[in-house]
Amino acid sequence: MTHVFVEGDSAETGPAITPIKRLKGRETAVAGPWALIWLKFVRNKVAVVAGIIILVMYLIGAFAEFLAPALPEASKPQFTYAPPQELHFFVTDPDGTSRFMPHVTGYKQEVDQASLKRIFTIDPEKVVPIGFFVKGPKYRMWGLIEMDIHLIGPLKSTDTMYLLGTDKLGRDLLSRLIYGTRVSMSIGLIGVVISLTLGVILGSLSGFYGGWVDLTIQRIIEVISSMPTIPLWLGLAAAVPLTWSPLQVYFVITLIVSLFGWTGLAREVRGRFFALRSEDFVTAARLDGSTERRLIFRHILPSLTSHILAVVTLALPTMIVAETALSFLGIGLKAPVVSWGVLLQEAQNVRTIATAPWLLIWPAGAVVLTVLAYNFLGDGLRDAADPYES
């Protein structure tokens, strides 16, 4: 073989690259861990969309009174099981020209003589003009400020608008669903906060100290996770005093449930602690003279927070599903509280589903959408949680 070489160019100082995007080397060099997590997270488009959905859900819950066209308890017996009305933006005048006017079409009522059932049919002739920011029924925003402006509603207060239909008492499903969002989205949070606190504290102790501390905590976890939850909940629901308000009862039940639900999180945290405890940088910090408290709070827990956030995001939907399931069984929330589970409970029998399928579809859809969004968000967060692995 002949001896050949490139004529002395040692000018090259790095690998040959062709940039696609403008390189932000300078910026990522000083970017902290949260900035890196964010950069990695926004690359996952599905998770971002899921995050936006969750955010919208909480906004709906927060501004329920303003967003709902009617009050959740306002019933109109003449409109029981009225089907959803379609929203139109243009009306055709008798002379054939169309003009912009948001409206819904009214109902024509007939009574079936054989079964004495009221049958609603959409009447395209009957136009109910609607508007945005209209005056409607009075409410107290967050129970404090008296207001009567609604985002959307019929212009005349005597008119009715049922975009998602009505239930057996003639209550507007859309309004009830919006009010239900507030209860359903927030009720899991308290449970998760309690689970989180217990899980992180006990998991950290277990993982950091190991030995008999770990042994004791792990055996306790095993005992707790072997308890059957549904019979326990049923028993607790029966033991709660009847004088308590339904919401109070539910808070107590979630509290007890979360006292049993911290075990998964504790195990997750313990596993991470075990892995991190033997990392070189933790040993280095120990040799630097850090106390145990400083090791945990300065070096180990910050490496865990993003993981914990991801686990919590994945734990929230189970809480929401649990609420729905319990309410559906009749041991969770009860009327007059409105939640997705309570709404689903009303769609329990086959006859309702046959005559008014919207009572099942919309609340169930809300639950599925939320749970899916939470799961995608949680997956995205979990992938982004460690921005330092390649």
Smallest distance, Å, CB 14 to another protein? 7
Residues near another protein (CB under 8 A), total:
46
Kindly state the tokens that stand for 354: 């046959």
Query: CB 293 → another protein: shortest distance, Å?
Result: 11
Nearest to 360 by CA among 230, 194, 223, 177: 177
Q: How far apart are CA 181 and CA 70, in angstroms?
A: 15
Helices 246-261 and 173-209, axial angle in degrees (round to 10): 30
Q: Which residue type occupies 325?
A: A
CB of 264 to another protein, least distance (A): 25
* Burial environment of residue 359 by CB neighbours within 10 A (0 to 12, 13 to 18, 19 or more): buried
The reply on whether position 45 binds another protein by CB under 8 A is: no
Stretch that binds another protein, among 6-14, 52-60, 207-215, 260-268 (CB under 8 A): 6-14
Residue 48 and residue 380 in contact, taking contact as beta carbons nearer than 8 Å: yes
Phi/psi of residue 11, each to 5°? -70, -25
Choose one: 62-70, 74-82, 202-210, 298-306; the region binding another protein (CB under 8 A).
Answer: 298-306
Q: What's the residue count for the chain?
A: 390
State in angstroms the smallest separation of the CB of 32 from another protein. 7
CB of 384 to another protein, least distance (A): 14
Give me the least distance between CB of 162 and another protein, in Å please: 49
Q: Which one of 42, 56, 284, 368 is in contact with another protein (CB under 8 A)? A: 284
Which residues make Cβ contacts (< 8 Å) with residue 106, sequence separation at least 6? 85, 122, 123, 126, 127, 128
Site string for another protein, 70-109 (x = CB under 8 A): ----------------------------------------
- Examine residue 1 and tell whether it contacts another protein (CB under 8 A): yes
Sequence letter at residue 363: P
Shortest distance (Å) from residue 209 CB to another protein: 14
Residue 181 near another protein by CB under 8 A: no
Which residue from 191, 194, 259, 251 is spatially nearest to 225, judged by alpha carbons? Answer: 259
Report the candidate in 187, 183, 150, 189 with the shortest Cα–Cα distance to residue 69.
150
Does residue 21 touch another protein according to CB under 8 A?
A: yes
Choosing from 4, 223, 238, 350, the residue that interacts with another protein (CB under 8 A) is: 4
Instruction: Please answer whether residues 189 and 251 qualify as being in contact, where contact means their C-beta atoms are separated by less than 8 angstroms.
Output: no
Contact of 130 with 155, CB cutoff 8 Å: yes
Nearer to another protein, 157 or 283 (CB): 283
Give me the residues that bind another protein (CB under 8 A), please.
1-10, 12, 14-21, 23, 25, 28-33, 36, 43, 279-281, 283-291, 294, 299, 302-303, 388
